[in-house]
């Protein structure tokens, strides 16, 4: 589900079961992330699916990429896998006005 920055960030902050998921490449990840994000690269194909399988499907996932396209695909994949709450950041990190930090 595509949601606005405000809804996306508010939801990620308000819910203790929230997970911020960055589906970009490692190179993109190293350029800066939304605070608290974990990274699973959607371009890893089956590896991406394996990593998703390890996640708790009962949590709420706030997903982003560079422009919102890959994260939209990721949300669709997650829904097919039984994740009920996967929210796509419309516009991705390119249009993001919130905080960005260097990954640790």
Q: What is the pLDDT of residue 96?
A: 96
Q: How far apart are CA 3 and CA 25, in angstroms?
A: 22
**Residue 82 near residue 57 (C-beta atoms within 8 A):** yes
Residue/partner pairs of 49-53 with CB below 8 Å, 24 or more apart: 49/77, 49/81, 52/77, 52/78, 52/81, 52/83, 53/81
Residue 104 confidence (pLDDT) above 90: no
The residues annotated as belonging to the active site are 65
Q: How far is CA 46 from CA 7, 12, 58, 74, in A?
A: 30, 27, 22, 12
Domains of the chain as residue ranges with CATH: 2-55+62-95 (3.40.250.10)
Q: Mind listing the pLDDT tens digit for each residue in 35-64?
A: 999 999 999 999 999 999 999 999 999 999
* Global pTM value: 0.96
């Amino acid at each position: 589900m595509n949601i606005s920055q405000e809804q996306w960030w508010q939801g990620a902050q308000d819910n203790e079961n929230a997970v911020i998921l960055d589906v970009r490449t490692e190179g993109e990840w190293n350029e800066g992330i939304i605070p608290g994000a974990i990274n699973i690269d959607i371009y890893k194909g089956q590896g991406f699916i394996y990593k998703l399988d390890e996640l708790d499907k009962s949590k709420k996932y706030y997903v982003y990429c560079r422009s919102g396209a890959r994260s939209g695909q990721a949300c669709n994949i997650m829904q097919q896998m039984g994740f009920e709450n996967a929210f796509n950041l419309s516009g991705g990190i390119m249009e993001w006005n919130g905080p960005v930090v260097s990954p640790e």
